Amino acid sequence: MMGFVGTVEGRKKKATGLAGSDCEVSLSEDLYNERNLKKLVHKFKLYSSSDHFRTKNGIYESTVRRLASAKRFKWIEKILEHQKQFRHDISKENFSIRLVKLYGQSGMFENAKKVFDEMSERNCERSMKSVNAILLACVNSGKLEEIEGIFQEMEMKWKVRPDVVSYMLGIKTEQFRHKQVQQLSKPMTEFIIDSSIM
């Protein structure tokens, strides 16, 4: 294990000494080529200490996507919760939004909501962008029942007004619910029709 850690440390030091684009390619390629998911998690957490690394949305998205595909949700939680120690970043709205979205894309709504709720504790602004991020997390996680409550709290609790994106997410939810009702009612409708024919 010490050999592995030493190798990663050496690679990280070498990469962080490169120019920005070279550093990004070196670290992202190393993560992409890592087939062992446990090692992937370890490397990701280690590389996160690089300020440059933490600016790269694509690396975060691809890593979380791989872990979600393998249903390693505890490991997703491990790498994303690890990001909260970087207080300068986590106090910025866009960084928190990234975590909310990544949790939402993984179907981990409770974690996404926790990050969203903690924003006020970190004196982090919550604009319409972050509210839309938690709405999107609802949709991606299939937590449609949460959306109505978020809409109710927007202006009253968070002092933000819904925008076009918010309404589109709301409409998408209603369309999905309508489709579900249609699918549930279809067998009953067919039964009624069959009964009337008989």
Q: What residue spans define the domains of the chain?
A: 1-85, 86-198
Cα gap 198→193, rounded to integer Å: 9
Structure confidence at residue 197 as a pLDDT band (50, 70, 90)? very low
Least confident of 66-80, 90-104, 184-198: 184-198
Q: Name the residue with higher pLDDT: 39 or 179.
A: 39
Task: Count CB-CB contacts under 10 A for residue 122.
Answer: 14
pLDDT digits (tens, 9 = 90+) for 6-23: 455 555 554 444 445 555
pLDDT beyond 80 at 122:
yes
Residues 6+ apart with CB under 8 A from 76: 64, 67, 68, 102, 103, 106, 108
> What is the chain's mean pLDDT, rounded?
83
pLDDT digits (tens, 9 = 90+) for 38-82: 999 999 999 999 999 999 999 999 999 999 999 999 999 999 999
pLDDT beyond 80 at 25:
no
Alpha carbon 46 to chain centroid, angstroms: 20
Determine what percent of the chain is predicted with pLDDT higher than 70: 75
